[in-house]
Amino acid sequence: MKVLIADDEPVSRRLLQSYLQKWGYEVVVAADGSEAWRLFEAGDFPLVISDWMMPGLDGPELIAKIRSSARGNYVYTILLTARAQKEDVVAGMEAGADDFLSKPFDRDELRVRLRAGQRIIDLEQHLRETEAALAEQRKIVESLRQAGASGREDEPQP
Amino acid sequence: MPDQPRVRTMACVGGISLERGVPLEDLQEYLHDAENVLWMDVQNPGPDERAMLVEEFGFHPLALEGTAQEPRRPKVEEYKGYLALIACSALPGEADDDATLAAVDLFIGRNFVVTLYRGPVPAIDDGLARWTRGGQTLREGVGALIYALLDALVDSFVPAIDRVEDEINEIEIAVFTRPPEESLRRLLRLKRSLMALRRVLYPLREVFSVLLRPDPPVPLRGTDIYLRKVSDHVLRILDVLDTEREMVAGALEATLTVSSNRLNNTMKTLAVITVAMAVVGSVFGAYGMNFEAIPLEDAAWGFWAVAVGTIGLVGLAVLLGSWRRWW
């Protein structure tokens, strides 16, 4: 799974990158919010981890932009920040973040939260595929019904 | 069967992430970066664990000798590259229990702390929880971990001291209602507990004075202010201990006074009985003498009149005295 990491702090960025790569994620890093947005537009990232305070676009702004972009698939976002007050958690979630972790974060906690995010993405993907299959089936049924109706019209009247 | 050794490790990497269960083979990698802080907790250390500590951290075998044993006088010793600090924790107990203490050895380096102790010491887990919840203070390096551990160890004495105070208050009331032997036994036990607590808390002041000196032996960064708070807490606890010692001394004095009063009352009662018997005895003694003429000698009811009269009058006087509280 591709993950976009946006953090202006090099140590934090490097650490996150090494953890996620160790856990089998494909990682792309951005040094600020604007770069993260450019990378997000250019690529396909179902999971985004963003720092709160960054030059250019900050974390909540980046997440708000991601939410407003007309992407087909759902993007799971985690806000990672040094802020730990309840009101910060609320503000972060209000901005559209799915999860919130305060620094210093627990490595194992990050791992399980990522796994939870991955489950949601997989479920959403599965739901979309099922919906697409259902739409396909509906189309087939519709075309069969139309074929049946036109066949009845062609039959000679007694 | 001796308790099984248990080694736990936790690292704060760059003040950004916390990693539990650092593999022993990676220790040096973590210790290499000064921005990382490593905590190793060794419960019930055996020869293998001590050898591992000598190998991984370069501790002097003499510094490890006697660690995690009986509670010892807290002190701090400086070795090359690390400090060996002896601290103590009070273990949780029931209301009437003696204060139970456990020795905790801390080895503190520029970016690591190793804790050694025997048996479960809840204050260590409390300290770890405080450290991991420290938020931004974790960026202050090893000082944040030292603060969290020492704060938890010092705080562990508070319930023990509260228990002593509650028991003193209870005894102060019981002194007048219960047998003095029971109060004395409890007070002497409390005195022993207070002495034991004082013995381990008093030297902690010196430990803090070493940690908080102008050129601290370990990099404290901005955490010296927190350690000062813990040091103040130790002084406050010592003040409370002094007050409690005075309370115990006062209760002991009250118990002995009450006991002495009770003895006085018994002696008074015995003295009254003795006087009463002496009066009766002297009247009967006088009638037993060989005088020519003794009053009522010839009367048939004479003996009964003297006996009943004497005993009745003395008995009446004793009852009147008791009623009017003459003694």
The CATH number for B104's domain is 3.30.460.20
CATH code 3.90.1580.10 for A2-127: no
**A85: which chain B residues are within 8 Å (Cβ-Cβ)?**
none
Last residue of a domain, one of B227, B258, B289: B258
Last residue of a domain, one of B216, B234, B258: B258
**A8: which chain B residues are within 8 Å (Cβ-Cβ)?**
none
Residues 6+ apart with CB under 8 A from B227: B143, B146, B147, B150, B208, B211, B212, B220
pLDDT reported for residue B95: 64
Q: Which helix (H) or strand (E) holds B7?
A: strand B6-13
| pLDDT over 80 at A84, yes or no | no
3-class SS letters over B170-215: HHHHHCCCCCHHHHHHHHHHHHHHHHHHHHHHCCHHHHHHHHCCCC
Among A112, A113, A100, A103, CA closest to A15: A103
| Token pair in block for residue A45 | 């990232």
* Pick from B16, B20, B132: CB nearest A103: B16
Q: What average pLDDT does this structure show over B302-327? A: 88
The CATH number for B282's domain is 1.20.58
Are B273 and B250 contained in the same domain? no
Q: What average pLDDT does this structure show over A91-102? A: 88
pLDDT reported for residue B2: 63
Are B239 and B219 contained in the same domain? yes
Is cis: bond before A104, omega within 30 of 0?
yes
Say whether B16 and A84 touch across the interface (CB within 8 A).
no
The reply to whether B13 touches chain A by the CB within 8 Å rule is yes
B8, B10, B16: best mutation site toward chain A, by most A Cβ within 10 Å?
A: B16
Are B116 and B194 contained in the same domain? yes
Say whether B13 and A110 touch across the interface (CB within 8 A).
no
pLDDT reported for residue B92: 85
- The 3-state DSSP class for residue B37 equals strand
Say whether B19 and A110 touch across the interface (CB within 8 A).
no
Are B305 and B181 contained in the same domain? no
Among B250, B218, B232, B246, CA closest to B108: B218
More confident residue, B48 or B220: B48
* Pick from A82, A84, A107: CB nearest B17: A107
The nearest CA of chain A is from the CA of B37 a distance in Å of 12
pLDDT reported for residue B129: 93
pLDDT band at A152 (very low <50, low <70, confident <90, very high): confident
Q: What average pLDDT does this structure show over A14-27? A: 94
CB atoms within 10 A of CB A57: 20
Q: B24-51: per-residue pLDDT in tens? A: 999 999 999 988 999 999 999 999 999 9
CA distances from B252 to B182, B246, B258, B259, B265 (A): 11, 10, 10, 10, 20
Order of strands across the sheet that contains A26-30: A26-30, A2-6, A47-51, A76-81, A99-102
Backbone torsion region of residue B119, taken as left when φ is above 0, otherwise alpha when ψ lies between -120 and 50, otherwise beta: left
Are B14 and B134 contained in the same domain? yes
Domain presence at residue B217:
yes
pLDDT reported for residue B143: 92
More confident residue, B42 or B327: B42
A12, A103, A106, A108: best mutation site toward chain B, by most B Cβ within 10 Å?
A: A103
| pLDDT over 70 at B99, yes or no | yes
A107, A112, A113: best mutation site toward chain B, by most B Cβ within 10 Å?
A: A107
Domain presence at residue B1:
no
| pLDDT over 60 at B1, yes or no | no
Are B138 and B282 contained in the same domain? no
* Pick from A11, A84, A108: CB nearest B16: A11
pLDDT band at B125 (very low <50, low <70, confident <90, very high): very high
pLDDT band at B178 (very low <50, low <70, confident <90, very high): confident
Give me the sign of the Cα torsion angle B267, B270, B275, B278: negative
pLDDT reported for residue A158: 59
Say whether B13 and A15 touch across the interface (CB within 8 A).
yes
Say whether A82 and B136 touch across the interface (CB within 8 A).
yes
- Tokens 């139309």, located at residue: A146
The nearest CA of chain A is from the CA of B152 a distance in Å of 21
CA distances from A112 to A59, A106, A117, B274 (A): 21, 10, 9, 89
> d(Cα B105, Cα B68) in Å, to the nearest integer?
6
pLDDT reported for residue A141: 93
Domain presence at residue B303:
yes
Entry pTM: 0.79
Last residue of a domain, one of B216, B243, B258: B258
The reply to whether A11 touches chain B by the CB within 8 Å rule is yes
pLDDT reported for residue A34: 93
| Token pair in block for residue B297 | 């000698």
What number of C-beta contacts closer than 8 Å exist between A and B?
39
> d(Cα B127, Cα B229) in Å, to the nearest integer?
15
Residue A9 carries which side chain, given as an amino acid letter? E
Q: A23-81: per-residue pLDDT in tens? A: 999 999 999 999 999 999 998 899 999 999 898 889 999 999 998 887 778 899 999 88
Domain presence at residue B30:
yes
Residues 101-130 (A) with a CB less than 8 A from some CB of B? 102-108, 110
Q: Which helix (H) or strand (E) holds A39?
A: helix A33-42
> d(Cα B273, Cα B259) in Å, to the nearest integer?
21
Are B253 and B266 contained in the same domain? no
Residue B311 CB burial class (10 angstroms; 0-12, 13-18, ≥19) = middle
The reply to whether B34 touches chain A by the CB within 8 Å rule is no
**A19: which chain B residues are within 8 Å (Cβ-Cβ)?**
17
pLDDT reported for residue A13: 92
More confident residue, A10 or A92: A10
Structural domains of chain B, count:
2
pLDDT reported for residue B283: 86
| pLDDT over 80 at B104, yes or no | yes
The reply to whether B161 touches chain A by the CB within 8 Å rule is no
Domain presence at residue B109:
yes
pLDDT reported for residue A157: 62
Residues listed for chain B: 327
Are B248 and B315 contained in the same domain? no
Are B225 and B272 contained in the same domain? no
> d(Cα B154, Cα A93) in Å, to the nearest integer?
39
Q: What average pLDDT does this structure show over A148-155? A: 75
Are B226 and B163 contained in the same domain? yes
The nearest CA of chain B is from the CA of A91 a distance in Å of 19
pLDDT reported for residue B96: 65
Residues listed for chain A: 158
**B136: which chain A residues are within 8 Å (Cβ-Cβ)?**
82
Domain residue extents for chain A: 2-127
Q: What average pLDDT does this structure show over A139-155? A: 84
Instruction: Quote the mean pLDDT of chain B.
Output: 89
Say whether B14 and A15 touch across the interface (CB within 8 A).
yes
Say whether B16 and A107 touch across the interface (CB within 8 A).
no
Instruction: Quote the mean pLDDT of chain A.
Output: 89
**A9: which chain B residues are within 8 Å (Cβ-Cβ)?**
16
More confident residue, A21 or B286: A21
Q: In which domain, by residue range, is B138 found?
A: 6-258
| Token pair in block for residue B65 | 């000798």
